[in-house]
Amino acid sequence: MHTIYEWVAGPLTWIAFLIFFGGLLYRLVRLVTLVRRKEPFIFTYMSLKYGLRSILHWSLPFGTVNWRLHPVLTIVTFAFHICLLAAPIFLMAHAILFKEAWGVGWPSLPDAVADGMTVVVIAGAIFFLVRRIVRPEVRFVTSASDYVLLAIVAAPFVTGFIAYHQFFAYRWMLVAHMVSGQIMLVAIPFTRLAHMLFAPLTRAYMGSEFGGVRRAIDW
């Protein structure tokens, strides 16, 4: 067990991060290359002003008509994504591990707050799962990969929650937590989870087109 833990916490973690950052860089370079080759005119009307304006409105809860039309979905979506990003980054245990490895640290959240954020992510994943099952218009556009991606996102938080509270099989849950986190990192650049990178770029493009070309707003 000790050997497995060392291998997962060491080489496997490095491999996952290399694939994560390398994959995102590859996707970004590939996107820019494709745009330059097929639709170079896009660069002519990309606007920092209109792009940031659009990103700002869509980044604010109820900042757009669509967000206001679906208040429950809006609240769950924002809470889910905020906790999804903040909990792993500002978890005290993760911050300590990073400082031990790189000598760089940052403020961390109290364990109780991080634990609450973990519950929010798990509850949000259940909400999105149920929504895909019970809402006909969502179920129609749902494929098996959507359920797999939802499981990939939820797994690190479920296993981390179990490991933190030591409900059972603590050591194995800790390993499962690390492996599931690594799987998510590797999956991000090559699945629809890459929207963490592309969503702001898409929003900047839409904002630039609506503001600079159509003279309209996109929210």
Which residue blocks in 40-194 are alpha helix, DSSP H? 42-45, 48-59, 65-69, 71-90, 92-102, 111-134, 136-140, 144-165, 170-187
Judge contact between 207 and 215, C-beta under 8 A. Answer: no
Q: What is the pLDDT of residues 6-36, one digit of tens each?
A: 889 888 999 999 999 999 999 999 998 988 8
Domains in the chain: ranges and CATH:
2-213 (1.20.950)
This prediction's pTM? 0.89
Q: What is the pLDDT of residues 169-205, one digit of tens each?
A: 888 999 999 999 999 999 999 999 999 889 998 899 8
